[in-house]
Structure formats: structure tokens, C-alpha cells
A and B are shown apart, each in its own frame.
Chain A
């Protein structure tokens, strides 16, 4: 199993990468860690004619505090999210979620920006960013723009990102004092989540409960209205459209998401 042939370039700067992406148009695909893209290309479900490798752009590899927010370069690898002291202090949910992505080898290559840009509804980090109410900085030939995560996804593997734009940064509010938890339910340790729930500061992000990462808004509203955790968690499947596969039926996922939401909220409450 090998990809179809393609041309390849590794620009030295972000500006060069954006210019090249504009030039190549829809025939081009961006490669960061490659752990979403290469598997798809190997089974020939994806066959770009041109691959632009941004995996070594130091400009995209940083984690820093900026005012009320933490800014994370899109090229930051999962492993670096796990070990980051800044994230551990400012948004501890992120290292905890990143630690559950794939396996050590995958975490050594996969990137935060790549995971968010790919937008698999079963992946962990989109729901975490959703629970944190973060935002995504996009850059293209027309300049930069910032999109709130709640407005980012439009469907399975699709977002408001234009084909000539790159995810360059993820901005998260500093939540060092807030209660948080991540409950991920898998069959095997490195499987995709059957369902997972990310909680931070009363906000709830859901993994694999629909065509995109979702917020459990009914649960959040119930909590705001002073309902108990158990009562709020019982609403976690409202507005979801969970998928069916060999690991779970929609009914199972609906039941599971309530259990995991309750557990996550209890853990977050301390």
C-alpha cells in the first residue's frame, strides 16, 4: 500500500508555503506531521498531485502566553503539547487530551494544526479546543483571519478554511484555575474514541457524536441554570447525531456520552 505519485516541495518559510499553495491551487495538499494525510494517500482515498511539506517550519512550532491567551503554533507536535510546562500551567486540559492521541510514535509526528485542519469528528483535539472556546488563526494570500472554533467546522472533514489558507495558530484562553477533565472511551488504548468528552470550566466538548466535534449545549445550559451534574449530564446527547460502526450503535453512543459527561463533570468539579 503506497501513495499514488505526486510532486513534493518543502518551502523554507511560511510565506513561501502560502505562495506555493496559492500557485498550485486545489491540486495541492499541505503535509505537516502526515499522520492523517499519508494513511489516506496510502489507501488511495486521497491522491493530491502536489504535496507542500510544512512539517519543519520553525515559525509554526511554539507555545507562548500572550495576554489572556496561550498561542500555540499549528506545527506543534502532540508530544510537545504533552510535555509543555506552559500548557500544564495554563490549559492543563490540552496536555491531558494530547496524551491520549494515537500512540507515542503518532504523537511524535502528528501536529495540533494538522489534527484541527483535518477535522475528523472522532479525533480528540477539536473537541478539547471546543471545550476551551479557543480560536484558530488562518493565513492565506489575502492575509490572516481568526475564527472561533465554534464557527470553524462545517461538516465531516470540512471547515471554513479556504483551500489556499493554512491553519497557522491556535489560541486558547488561559484556564489554569478552571476545573477540567477528559473522559475518552476506546476499545483499545490507541484506538479512535468511540465517544469522548472534554470538559473545562463548565463547557463540554464531544468527540464522535456527529459529523463534527460538538458542544453539549443543553448540558452547559442546565449547569448554568443550577441543575445538578447528573441532571445536566443526562442531556449530553441532545442535538447529537452519533454514527454507527462496529464499535458502537447510535443508542450506545448516546448512553455512553451521558455517563462520560457525568464522570468528566464530577472530575472537573474536584
Chain B
């Protein structure tokens, strides 16, 4: 029986559930013995020039070994996203100007952690305030420049050279337009950022909490002016990333530099309060959607304008609108699509990837537009969607967003979600509540989504080696931080070799062991790294057969794997001679290195239905039910796949209802702790109803697509739509996220004032 598709429990877990995982701050590597603790002094103001920094009192404090400022650095400020305006570089410690609350201005190195925190309070920085720009729309006016030498606040622009065609919507019977906010979110992995560094001669070893060791190595080497082989990056267990641990953080480079300067190991583990301003954040788009079509419900025109807030120093956020534009039309076959985007800097924390990274923003926009369009023509939003989705006979389908969707059955997914939800019953209940004038109204939201996975790096390396004792080592360039690759990749190897999971070790995240790799991001891992392992194990079987042919006196074509015995045997000859993989390995190293290149991304899709109850007196929203149809092709391990969907759905609901990073006009964060920032607990969420659907991709031999972000992409618009649907009888067509009780109450209040 095949192990693929079965609910194998994780091989990672016994350690995690007994002595606990080993995160960067838990390391006991003896080469870190005697490490100095780094405490960063961070700017308390959003925009200012630095008049002076006095470190003398801090330097005199107990246990303090050094206090370093920007003036001491010999590494140049770095451009953190290659496509951004070249003048928008970030110093490793600000010395002339600070551009956001939380920007590092000094580094305190102390023998003990507590001493460093005491001393950091004694560093005296004199700031001369500058005007603060928080609103990205205001930033676009270039009245206050963050980088005067750039001459603009625009970090990048896409399709922004020409004026939009004023006649684009001519001929449409119905046109609806709306400004939307896709709010700024904090990824908030439970493990904050951390790094530890030590030098051996001219070579540094860095432990970092990250999603890609090899990419991190390359960036850090570039910053420090080192050859790549002089930087060894190791990722220990990583406590969640959600996109925010893609790319190296400047602090990691600083840790390595400080360790070299002091000639001692250095450890850094930020606090949550630092993390909520220091770690990159996500989303942060202002959008304008305009949708046009016929009274019957056919959408023919769609325009999306995006202003992307990049934060103070452009990072991966600069790229997000490219994904957003690419996926702008969603699951719909729309003849005319027009989009443009502009990326601007503001005096806020930098924006980068957060679960979905540009695609949730695209889906939220088109799904809101579909709802607005349906409301305008008075038709059921689910029906309007089904009328407009790409039909199954059109795949592969090249969209007006300029990408080729590989496979999809979008209407079927909507139908499945509707039938599983009892849609007709729900609408009847909604009608009954409205007729009774219930305080608690019900809303039903439907979303249809398609997303792009493995959209960046299509290739991945893998190595599979069987050892003489029968154990197996798998090396992968993916970088799990909760996804369970140790289990999943072992399943793929085991399927070919017939060797049990207990004998298969999956290694990742060490640039000496695995020099190249794209890490784990963008839901790429299974369709790239997983397929590479599948291919490597298959190639290893081929190699074993070649070696076994002589021993077994048979032609290679007549050999097969006896998966009960982890051996090569002659097909159709019971009791014939056989040779185990272990024996072959004992004779000669039995190892395959391979590269899989899918050359293209895949496009998972699905439909979600969310049912909410809204207390119309208080504005409180309760999610009663969410039904998720998520189709990522065949499933390698349903247990792991469901886990990804659950987590994604929770984060998606959280964006719709609870979470938002908020700044005041002075650029002070108002949501800088977990007490203020609205991450849901178990008590705010229901259990989730998952519905299976399987449409393979032709892009790889297993038909696998990515699943890591699907839940987030589908659930946010379904939830937002459900709340608005509950209030549609009051004339409410839109409320921006997050739909907090305050926001919902204000919308109801405004609607009732308007009607009276």
C-alpha cells in the first residue's frame, strides 16, 4: 500500500513534545559559550535627524563591554530590495536620520542579558523631529521626503507611466467603483527574530531564525563584503515565519559584524515589543477597484489601482503589487483588465511578505468588486461569480493578468462550498431573521479564489543517500518552520525505497550541507523541493538497479523494488535473489543529487463560505461557520495539509475581523504589543469545515500544488463579505477591514442616520 496520501503523524513531534524544539535562543553550541548579549537601542520617534548620541553612561554600566553606534560601522547602508529606488538604502545603525519608530540607533553588548537592557536605557540620543508621513496617499504627494537624495517617496511604480484610459469602461451597462483598504498586518510568529554568531578565523557561522538559509547567507555575505563561502548560515528550529522571515534582516548582519569587532560570539533575541516594530509587516495596500459589465451579470471590465505602503525602507513589499496585479482578475474570465501600482515609503515599519504576499490583496479586491457588482444589479453574489468564472474547458488559461493558469474547476468549487454550507437554508434563515427584525442578523459570504504557488523560484535541489546501515539521509533546500517537511519528504523517499520513516532523516537549513536552496515561502515547497526529493529517490532506485543488475544476473528492465524488504529483486520471480539498498551502499556510496525544475508556478484554487452572526446593537461579529473548499491537487499527507488550511483560515479570519497595525499621526504604533494587536485565541474561532476537491496540475509528475496560503486567501474575503451581507438590508455595501465591533457599529449607525 502506498504511504502517499495517508495521515502520517509527524516524525518531528516526539522531540517537540518532550524536551521542546531547539530555537535560536535555545542553542547550547559550545562555540557560543561566553557570548555577548546584544541589546538594540531603537528610535522612539518616527522621523527625525539625530543631533547626538551619548553612550558614555551606558558604557560605564555594569557588564557592558561595548556600545556601538553608526559612526563605528564600516559597512555601507544596504538596498534591501534590488528593484527599489537606489537611494532608499538602510543603515545598519541609523546615525544621521531615523525613519520609523523601532529603527536601531545603537548596539549595547553586555555580559548578561539583563545588564544590556539596563544599559540600553542609558544611551542618550538627541533627536530633532521632522514632519512625519504615515498615510501612503499623502506620501505620494512628495511633500515630506524620507530620502531627500531620492527626490521622491516613490520606491517603484508598475504600469504607471501613462494616464489610465478614461474611456476604458465605455459601453458597460453597469460600473461600480470603490476605494478599499487592505490593512497593514503583523505576521507575529510566536518566535521573534533571533541570531547568534561566532567567527572561526575569517569565517562566520550564524544561526538565524529564518525561512531560507541560502538566501540569508548571500545577503549577509554581500553586506559584510565576504565571499559566500566565508558565511555559514544554520537555521535551527524556527518558531513560525508566515513570510516575515523571508530575507535576511539587517540585525543579522549587525550581529555578525559585532561578533567580528569584539572577537567574541554574540547572541541576539528580540523582545515582542521590539518585534512589533522591528520585524517586517505585511499587506498595507490602498486599492481602488472599478468593475463594469452587463445588467445580466456578465463582468467585462475590471480595473485595479494600488498604492502599496513600503514602510520606511523598501523591502519585499516593493514586489507585492506585482503579484497583486498578476492575480488581479482572480478566477474570472474578464475580457478587459487594467491595473497599475505605485510603491511609496512612509515613516513606518517596512512591509514585506505576509502569508499570501500580494495574492490575498488581489483576491480581496476582486471579491469585493464582485459583491459590489452583484449588489448593484440585485443578483445573488454566488450566482454572479459562477456566471463569470473561467470554465474548465479553457485550461491552460492565459489571463488578462498575463499569467497561465494550469488547471481549475472554479464553478465546481463554488457549488461544493454552497451545498456543504446548506446555502439555500442559510438564505432562508437570513430572510426570517430580517423579517423578525432580530437584533442578531446573519450574513453569508462567498469567495472564489485562485492563487499562484511556487511563483518565484521554480527549481529546487534534493539529495537522497542510503547508508550501509539501511538508514537514509535526505537533503533539501526547502526550509520548514512548522510545515512538517521532515515527515513529508521522508514519505516521498519511503514510497520509492520501502525504507521506513524511522530510518529516514531529512536535513535542511545548513548552507555547508546544502549550498543551494530556495527555502520555504510562497507555498512552493512541495511542488519544488518535494518533487525534487521524489525525483532523487526515483533516480536512486535507477542507480541501485544498475548496480544490482550484475549481482542479480538480470537485466535492469527486469528489476523492481521490493518495498517490503527495501531491496532490489527480479520482477515476477518469487523467491529470486535480491539485494538490499543497504548492501549496495556498503559496497559503494549510494547517493543521488538532483535538481527538479518545474519551470512554471501552479495555481491552486477554491471557494469559501463564511457564516457570521452580527449583533446589530453592539457591532459584535461571531463567526459561526466557515466551509473551505481548497483544491491543491493530490494530497501527500492530509493531516499536514489540513493543518496548513486551518492555520491559514484562522489568519484570514483574523485579517477580516481583528488584526490591524495602527499608527497615530506622529507615527507612534498603537498596537505594539500582543495586548493591543488582535491575534485571535481559540475562543474567537470556530472549528473549520474542510471540503476536499482534487484537480492535479500538469506542471509536475505528482500533480501537486501548494497549500500554505490558500486558507488565508479564501477566508478573508468570505468573512468580510459575510459581515457586510448581514447588514446589506440596511443599505450597507462595504466596510473596510478589520471589521471590529467599532467599525461595524459605526457603519450601522451611519446607515440608520442616513435612513432617518
Contacts and interface: CB of A to CB of B under 8 A. Distances in A.
Taking the complex as a whole, does A directly touch B, i.e. does some CB pair lie under 8 Å apart? yes
Interface of A: 1-2, 4-5, 43-44, 185, 187-191, 194, 245-249, 252, 255-256, 259-260
A44 B271 CA distance: 14
Given A1-B271, A187-B678, A189-B681, A246 B671 contact: yes
Contacts of B662: 246
Contacts of A44: 121
B684 interface: yes
Contacts of A248: 741-742
Contact of A259 (B113, B118, B618, B742): B618
Contacts of B658: 187-188
B617 A252 contact: no
B740 interface: yes
A29 B128 CA distance: 37
B749 interface: yes
B671 A188 contact: no
Contact of B745 (A43, A189, A245, A255): A255
Contacts of A246: 662, 670-671, 676
A188 B749 CA distance: 22
Contacts of B555: none
A2 B680 CA distance: 26
A189 B682 CA distance: 9
Interface string B654-677: 000010001000000011000110
A266 to B, nearest CB: 12
B746 interface: yes
B114 interface: yes
Q: Give the interface SS of chain A, mostly helix, strand, loop or mixed.
A: loop
Contact of B742 (A4, A5, A249): A249
Contacts of B620: 185
A123 to B, nearest CB: 13
B273 A188 contact: no
Interface string B677-709: 010110110000000000000000000000000
Interface in B584-623: 617-620
Nearest to A185: B618
13 contacts: A1-B117, A1-B272, A187-B741, A188-B680, A188-B683, A189-B683, A190-B683, A194-B741, A247-B742, A255-B745, A255-B749, A259-B617, A260-B618
Contact of A188 (B113, B272, B681): B681
A4 B118 contact: yes
Contacts of A260: 618
B741 A189 contact: no
B671 A2 contact: no
Contact of B740 (A4, A247, A255): A247
Given A188-B678, A246-B670, A247-B740, A2 B114 contact: yes
B742 A190 contact: no
B188 to A, nearest CB: 14
B684 A189 contact: yes
Given A1-B117, A185-B620, A256-B618, 20 more contacts: A1-B271, A1-B273, A2-B114, A43-B273, A44-B121, A187-B740, A187-B741, A188-B658, A189-B684, A190-B683, A246-B662, A246-B676, A247-B740, A247-B741, A247-B742, A248-B742, A252-B741, A252-B746, A255-B745, A259-B618
Nearest to A248: B742
Nearest to B740: A187
A1 B117 CA distance: 8
A23 B273 CA distance: 36
Nearest to B743: A252
A260 B617 CA distance: 9
| Cβ-closest 5 pairs across A and B | A189-B683, A259-B617, A1-B271, A252-B742, A246-B670
Q: Which of B662, B740, B742, B749 counts the most chain A CB atoms within 10 A? A: B742
B117 A2 contact: yes
A4 B115 CA distance: 10
A126 to B, nearest CB: 19
A27 B678 CA distance: 36
A164 B619 CA distance: 45
Contact of A190 (B117, B121, B273, B681): B681
Nearest to A194: B741
Interface string B93-123: 0000000000000000000011001100100
Interface in B618-664: 618-620, 658, 662
Nearest to B660: A246
Interface in B731-756: 740-742, 745-746, 749
A249 B745 CA distance: 11
A255 B662 CA distance: 24
Contacts of B746: 252
Contacts of B683: 188-190
A245 B741 CA distance: 13
B614 to A, nearest CB: 14
B192 to A, nearest CB: 11
Nearest to B679: A188
A245 B671 CA distance: 11
Contacts of B117: 1-2
Residue of B121, B658, B681 contacting most chain A CB atoms (<10 Å): B681
Nearest to B745: A252
Nearest to A5: B118
Contacts of B671: 246
Nearest to A262: B617
B597 to A, nearest CB: 45
Q: Interface centre among A187, A191, A245, by most B CB within 10 Å?
A: A187
Nearest to B439: A259
A44 B683 CA distance: 31
A249 B618 CA distance: 13
A54 B617 CA distance: 44
A191 B674 CA distance: 10
Nearest to A249: B742
A246 B743 CA distance: 10
A248 B620 CA distance: 12
A255 B675 CA distance: 24
A44 B122 CA distance: 13
A2 B670 CA distance: 21
